[in-house]
Amino acid sequence: MLIPNTEADAAYVIRNAAADGKPLSICGGNTRGLARLATPAEAISSRGLTGIVDYDPAEMVMTVRSGTPVSEVEAALAANRQMMSFEPMDHRGIMGIHGAPSREPTIGGVFAANISGPRRLVSGAARDSLLGLRFVNGKGEIIRAGGRVMKNVTGLDLVKLLAGSQGTLGFLTEVTFRVLPVPPMTVTVIISGLDDEMAAKAMAAAIALPVEISAAAHLPQSVRSRFIGGHLPEGEATVLRLEGLVPSVTARAQKLAAVMEAFGAVTKLGMEKSLALWREIRDVAPYADGSEKPLWRVSVAPSAGYHLVSALRLEAGIDAFYDWQGGLVWMRMEADPEAELLRRYIRALGGGHATLMRAQEAARAEIPTFDPLPDAVAALSARVKAKLDPAGIFSPGKMGAF
């Protein structure tokens, strides 16, 4: 693995690789390991590029080198009662990565993969907080895009293009992003005993209320006991998070609970257990059990999630739970990945995306990690890549949207 220690070193390595036609696979802490490349490639990691470049808590903007561990960023923010609003998950549990200091999530990796957690409902994905970046393109040129304030742009928005590009367009060296204050109070309202369909209706009704819900998830009985030490109430748990100032959260929680009583029994979790619960939902705790059973991350319309799970249960052994008001389905298969079946049902329900997060090596070698792109989108993506990586040295053969 190549680990440049400066941006100039990274540019030199990439420039030589382009001249030689040598493929490179970009990674940060390599905690996801999703790429299955058609052409063998040498890895180039950003983890030698570390450190906070600029951070003024009063401005609520941070600039960080891309290889900086997420834990270091979070510690600096926590010292000032601030946070990354998009709540990035830690993939190490579901990927079975334990005790390796070099395998730690990096802030560049978060933006390269556009990672976002339960708060995506109100804060958007990682790219929505990204203000600017520096990267090395496939010709070894150092490029700066964006800045320290959000503004409208014309032409190619390189900041948004690089976010979520999965290492196919450039090697990130520095990112600048907005942060937010940590909410003083967090409460979770729980509705117990709802099946998947009724949970979807309850979450939709809750989101429509003027109570500013910051996260909504449904935990079926099969996974409910695997959260916060099994301390959730008996039965399926539909969980709704409220955050903000103490008087506001208290009033909103009372209003939300009163409406949700029409759906089922309502209880509440205080701040400590709420923080633990949503951290476990974010990191997909039920499936971070060392298993190699196929695990899918499926994004569909919130109204389609339970239909997808119900249809698949008739034909395959699966376990699942829902985040993002039902629009994000974490789905574990008991045997085969059933990729064709899953993707066929997604198309039938109006479309979406399915990413194969985990499977045994033989299955991952055969199944595209990401959904193949529609022809028109694939053609546009190819033109963008030809501009930024004309020699095609970054992650050659990798499937999926960027």
Residue 371 pLDDT: 86
Residue 2 has a pLDDT of: 94
pLDDT at 337: 94
Q: What are phi and psi of 30, to 5 degrees?
A: 55, 45
Q: What is the per-residue pLDDT for 153?
A: 46
Residue among 245, 327, 229 at smallest CA distance from 279: 229
Q: Per the confidence metrics, is the pTM higher than 0.75?
A: yes
DSSP 394: B
Return the pLDDT at 100.
67
Tell me what pLDDT residue 80 has: 98
Q: Which of 123, 82, 70 is nearest to 283 (CA)?
A: 70
Q: In this structure, what token pair is assigned to residue 315?
A: 């034909």
pLDDT tens digits, one per residue of 226-260: 999 989 999 999 999 999 999 999 999 999 999 99
Taking the mean position of all CA atoms in its chain, how far away is CA 261?
A: 32
Exposure string over 281-314, b if 16+ CB within 10 A, otherwise e: bbbbbbbbeeeebbbbbbbbebebbbbbbebbee
Whether the CB-CB separation of 109 and 145 falls below 8 Å is answered with no
Domains present along the chain, CATH in parentheses: 7-181+378-388 (3.30.465.10), 185-282 (3.30.70.2190), 285-366 (3.30.70.340)
Residue indicated by tokens 């890895």: 43
Residue indicated by tokens 């951290």: 279
Give the residues of the chain that fall short of pLDDT 50: 150, 152-155, 398-402
Residue 280's closest CA among 312, 242, 315, 321?
Answer: 321
Q: According to the model, what pLDDT value does residue 396 have?
A: 60
* pLDDT tens-digit readout, 260-318: 999 999 999 999 999 999 999 999 999 998 888 999 999 999 999 999 999 999 888 99
394 neighbors 402 (Cβ within 8 angstroms): no
- Residues in contact with 381: Cβ distance below 8 Å, sequence separation at least 6, in sequence order: 373, 401, 402
